[in-house]
Amino acid sequence: MIPVTKPFLPKIGEFEEYVNSIWERKWLTNNGPLVNELELKLKKYLNINHLLYVSNGTIALQFAIKALGLSGEILTTPFSFVATTNSIIWEGCTPVFVDIDAETFNIDPQKIEQAITPKTTAILATHVYGNPCNIEAIQEIADRHSLKVIYDAAHCFGTMYKNRSIFEYGDISTTSFHATKLFHTIEGGAVFTKNPELLKKMASMRNFGHDGPDSFSEVGINGKNCEFHAAMGLCNLKQIDEILDKRRLLSFYYWRKLSNLQAKYPKLNESLDYNYAYFPVLFDDEKLMHKCLKALENEKIYCRRYFYPSLSTLPFVSPSHMPICESVANRILCLPLYHTLTSSDLDLITRVILRAQNYDLPSENEVELNDGNNKLEFVQDLPGK
């Protein structure tokens, strides 16, 4: 069986060492030493000064909306995970969808301005699959209309934009460290902002609104994370460069093996150091996508339709027609991508897809078909980035 993703797990002994230290201290949660250590090491790894480790990526979005004091309408993308829209509604605001760009699948800045009304207070955009939005265009529109910008950067761990962590952009960026993400702490997430006041506000919100043992500055909630999750993060952070490297090799291998497939891939931003968070394939039509999905499932290979359906069709939002998003959502499939996949797994997956569409296999001697991770090395110089 090949699932769409498998969580990375460190050596159990490494995790046990941290667990033993937790047992000795008997300090399980409430800003413990491992949570502090993880925050410090994340800052160092990402070369970023301000972040807060929180319980998940959804509450991170809620903190961002609440800390900015947003109300009214928030412009957002219909092509994302449902949490992006839910967090807006949960915080009492109204999501107003703006269609996506047909090449990048990110919110289309050219369509943002026509969606602005006197009630608009912010733009909440997702860097889909870890590929940055048009950050400059979005910021320029936001500045002109005095709107706040929040980025849902849940897919972005390890992505660099213009030599800085992608988490540095927008008024607030958020991410998820859920087990399905490439860097994970089982459950977890973070908020990032360069504004010290916002950071302080969110730190207080995360801890019931405490600003001292017996005083409360505002309405808070419980958005903390615990020592066990931080321990997983500390183990996984040691391995992150290897994880990122492996995903890059696997992606290049896919691109090469699927060179005869009539499909498109998202256009990656030019100023990008990419993290290869997903391997999305946009089929030419929906029928072909379903045919491949079925053929793969017959071989016990499971893909996911990230992101289907278009969030603009959710039963609890006011309906709006997003033609590009709906078309992409109907035809896209994310292929399996995780660190323990081998080139022979990829050979099988790509063979099933190509066969399902009656395309010829690339000739056997063009690409060496073999197993073992080290076989992936030869794909490094391939085009496609």
Ligand X SMILES: *Cc1c(COP(=O)(O)O)cnc(C)c1O
> In this chain, which stretch among 77-85, 161-169, 270-278, 371-379 interacts with ligand X, using CB under 6 A?
77-85
Instruction: Count residues near ligand X (CB under 6 A).
Output: 14
Report d(CA 108, CA 125) in Å as an integer. 10
User: Rounded to an integer, what distance in angstroms lies between the CA atom of residue 181 and that of residue 21?
Assistant: 26
The reply on whether position 79 binds ligand X by CB under 6 A is: no
Read off the DSSP letter of residue 115.
G
Whole-angstrom distance, CA of residue 322 vs CA of residue 120:
19
The reply to whether 57 sits near ligand X by the rule CB under 6 A is: yes
Q: List, in sequence order, every residue forming a beta bridge with 52; answer none if it has no partner.
A: 191
Instruction: Collapse the DSSP code of 150 into the 3-class scheme (helix H, G, I; strand E, B; otherwise coil) and give the result.
Output: strand
* Segment interacting with ligand X, rule: CB under 6 A, options 135-143, 148-156, 242-250, 370-378: 148-156
Asked if 189 touches ligand X (CB under 6 A), the answer is yes
Strand order through the sheet with 332-335: 263-264, 279-283, 332-335
3-state secondary structure of 174: strand
Which among 169, 189, 184, 191 has a CA at the least distance from the CA of 240? 184
Name the pairing type of β-strands 160-161 and 164-165. antiparallel
Closest residue to ligand X using C-beta atoms? 57
Closer residue to ligand X (CB): 138 or 249: 138
> Which one of the spans 51-59, 93-101, 214-222, 291-299 is the region binding ligand X (CB under 6 A)?
51-59
169 Cβ neighbours under 8 A, 6+ residues apart: 132, 135, 139, 149, 151, 161
Nearer residue to ligand X within complex by CB, 80 or 312: 80
User: Token match 């390890």: residue?
Assistant: 158
Distance CA 353, CA 340 (A): 21
Binding mask 11-50 for ligand X (x = CB under 6 A): ----------------------------------------
Residue among 154, 182, 231, 367 that touches ligand X (CB under 6 A) = 154
* Residue 5 binds ligand X, judged by CB under 6 A: no
Contact between 152 and ligand X by CB under 6 A: the answer reads yes
Per-residue x/- mask for ligand X, residues 329 to 368, rule CB under 6 A?
----------------------------------------
Q: Taking the complex as a whole, how short is the minimal distance between the CB of residue 189 and ligand X, in angstroms?
A: 5
Binding residues (CB under 6 A) for ligand X: these are 56-58, 80-81, 83-84, 126, 152, 154-155, 176, 178, 189
